[in-house]
Amino acid sequence: MKPIVVYTRAWRSGVGLYAQGLVEGLAAAGSEVLFIAPAGYPEDRTARLGNVRRIRPVRELIDGGSRPRRAFLSLARVAGGLGALLAARFASNRFIVSIPDPFVFAIWPLMLLRLTGAKVVFVCHDPEPHSWSLPARWRWLERTGYRLVYGCASVIVVLSEAGRAPLVRSFDVPTDKIVVTPHGAFDVPAAGPAPGSNLLLAFGTIRRNKQVALAMEAVIAARSAGCPVRMIVAGGRDPNDPTYLDECQAIAARCPDGLIMETGFIADERVDELLAACDALLMPYTDFNSQSGVAVIAGMAGRPVIAAPAGGIADLIAAGLAAVEIPTPVDLDGVTRSILAFYATPKAEWSDRAARGRVLLGQALAWPQIGRQLAELFD
């Protein structure tokens, strides 16, 4: 049997962990895998798997270094990765692509794979981007890039039921080309019982559709209503909407006792500390049609969420994620009332519900099961 080639440019954060988990799942299900991706950070768990062969292009430079050096390493990563991808065609006709390179680089190799008879399974994390990279007058060009990449795929895998509709509506993808396979469970340590710290957490890239600013205003409103809640906002600036972080920092400045900002990349060790310290994650998402890696992390750590049932979050709640559902349409009053409702429930009850949710999600989102489902797409 020819190996399954898994390709991604991602090597850190949730998308990097997803690729590593997928490879582990494929290997556990009995597939031989050729994994092409930069070395994982902070560790590359796939390196120890006997039926996985690794090709590691260089990593791009995220922090520090001169602009020419960053550009050189990025281009070296693209060239090394796509070169290895095309070379893998001589060994296999079965490819899984997750988080590809920018369109201008990725489209041509994907086209060549299809033209030479390969089957390409494209894992679509975000059917439409959370924030567009190009200005509005060039939006058509970015949409064309998405349409071409989707057209290169033999099968498109979305990570939640909510991911189907945007592909059909916005990109004319045939419905029989779309398969739903859940996002796997991250291997995160259990955070233990709810500490009763009156601390909430907003985690991940600080994007407008996550409504971080609204979450912060709701914390201020809940404090005004007598709830001694605080919140840490931990994550990096959205490169496509950099001013949004400034808006959030201005809100934090109005309530320094209740709102703490930790901006930039959050290392895994710090993520574990934040999860252990908080009572729940606050996620009033909107315009969201993908799966939430943050919600998966919360559930697997044994932490409840106060969340809108947007995108794949609704699937996770149905599967067992402990949650207070924010009513839709999401507004300040609804988020505030949801915070107050969460703290009106005893912490012991939340600890029990979150512990049960961790077990249920671990069963529903097991990587070997997901690996088997993707491998069967090639049969």
Q: Does residue 280 register a pLDDT over 80?
A: yes
CA distances in angstroms from 323 to 303, 316, 341, listed in the order given: 9, 10, 11
Specify the DSSP class assigned to residue 225: T
Instruction: Say what the pLDDT of residue 30 is.
Output: 94
Q: Which amino acid is at 348?
A: A
Rounded mean pLDDT, 196-221: 96
How many CB atoms neighbour CB 157 within 10 A? Answer: 22
CA distances in angstroms from 295 to 17, 286, 298, 307, 371, listed in the order given: 14, 14, 5, 9, 21
Considering the entire predicted model, what is its pTM? 0.87
Rounded mean pLDDT, 292-319: 94
Q: Does residue 379 register a pLDDT over 90?
A: no
Measure the CA–CA gap between 2 and 372, rounded to whole angstroms: 15
* Arithmetic mean of pLDDT over the chain: 93
Residue 287 in 3-state DSSP?
A: coil
- The 3-class secondary structure across 59-73, one letter per residue, is CCCCCCCCHHHHHHH
CATH annotation of 4-180: 3.40.50.2000
Burial-class residue 332 by CB neighbours within 10 Å (0-12, 13-18, 19+): middle
Measure the CA–CA gap between 84 and 58, rounded to whole angstroms: 12
- Nearby residues of 29 by Cβ (< 8 Å), 6 or more positions away: 368, 371, 372, 375
Q: Which residues of 114-140 are buried (b: 16+ CB within 10 A; e: fewer)?
A: beeebbbbbbbbbbbebeeeeeeeeee
Q: Does residue 64 register a pLDDT over 80?
A: no
Q: Are 9 and 81 in contact (CB under 8 A)?
A: yes
Alpha helices in 255-345 (DSSP H): 268-277, 293-301, 313-319, 332-343
Instruction: Say what the pLDDT of residue 50 is.
Output: 87
199-364, superfamily in CATH?
Answer: Glycogen Phosphorylase B; (3.40.50.2000)
Q: Which amino acid is at 242?
A: P
pLDDT tens per residue, range 221-275 = 999 999 999 999 999 999 889 899 999 999 999 999 999 999 988 888 899 999 9
Q: Which of 157, 223, 197 is nearest to 279 (CA)?
A: 197
Q: Which amino acid is at 173?
A: V
- Nearby residues of 244 by Cβ (< 8 Å), 6 or more positions away: 206, 207, 208, 212, 213, 237, 238
Measure the CA–CA gap between 7 and 34, rounded to whole angstroms: 8
What percent of the chain lies above the pLDDT cut of 90? 78
pLDDT tens per residue, range 136-191 = 888 899 899 999 999 999 999 999 998 999 999 999 999 999 999 999 998 888 99
How many CB atoms neighbour CB 147 within 10 A? Answer: 15
Kind plus residue range of the DSSP H or E element containing 97? strand 94-98
Q: Are 195 and 277 in contact (CB under 8 A)?
A: yes
Task: Locate the DSSP E strands across 175-303.
Answer: 178-180, 199-203, 230-235, 259-263, 280-283
Where in the chain are the domains?
A: 4-180, 199-364
pLDDT tens per residue, range 330-373 = 999 999 999 999 999 999 999 999 999 999 999 999 999 999 99
- What number of residues does the chain have? 379
